[in-house]
Amino acid sequence: MMFKEFLCLWIPIGFLVGWIRGQTPPSIGVESCKALMTAKAVLTGNAGIAGQVTFQLVMGSQQLVVVDVSLSGLQKPDGFGDYTYHGCNAKLNFFTHLVHTHPVGTDGNCQAAEGHLDPFNVGDKTPCDFHQPQLCQTGDLSGKFGKISSARDTVSMHYIDPFLRFFPAEQSIYGRSVVLHAPDSTRLACGKPI
């Protein structure tokens, strides 16, 4: 086994051990790891927001998914002003990004995506706690990894989600959609992972 392949196997394991212990995980170099499977959702919408979310199943693990989010056009989307976030005094815009159950409509209609990907029936009653991501809806990326701020026009995020799946089919991100929501839950942009 080559050293690079060895690291690609053990880096995600070290990340999870640190996460379980409540420690801040070290910077992970999974960019150089070979992806076994990849799905990319190109997000488009009528609010001027565009971008993509890429999911990669990394070599060395059959269930760790690397997620890369790249979005632009986030500042002052049409029709939305400033919002407060969880009672903070500062006014900020925060967007949520989630994997939804159904694909985007053929006409690009984000409403066709229906509800969040939730194969274990967690439901919406209890808000997702990023300290206990195993108790969140599978598709609640913002709940597990943080909301997206509109303080800048563009944003890039990179994280590992050990709860997203490429298989089995009932849990898979394939055939679903990624939706970017405004603070009032309006669906601003969406795309289907292919």
> Each residue of 110-162: pLDDT tens digit?
999 999 999 999 998 888 998 999 999 999 999 999 888 878 889 899 999 99
pLDDT of residue 123: 92
Give the pLDDT confidence of 90-112 residue by residue, as tens digits: 334 578 878 888 899 888 889 99
Homologous superfamily in CATH for domain 34-191: Superoxide dismutase, copper/zinc binding domain (2.60.40.200)
**Measured on CA atoms in the order 125, 131, 133, 135, is the torsion positive or negative?**
negative
Give the pLDDT confidence of 16-30 residue by residue, as tens digits: 444 444 443 443 445
Strands (DSSP E) contained in 44-77 are 50-58, 65-72
Q: What is the DSSP letter of 113?
A: G
HSE-CB for 37 with a 13 A CA cutoff: 16
Task: Note the pTM of the prediction, 2 decimals.
Answer: 0.75
User: pLDDT band for position 76 (50/70/90)?
Assistant: low
pLDDT of residue 153: 85
pLDDT of residue 33: 65
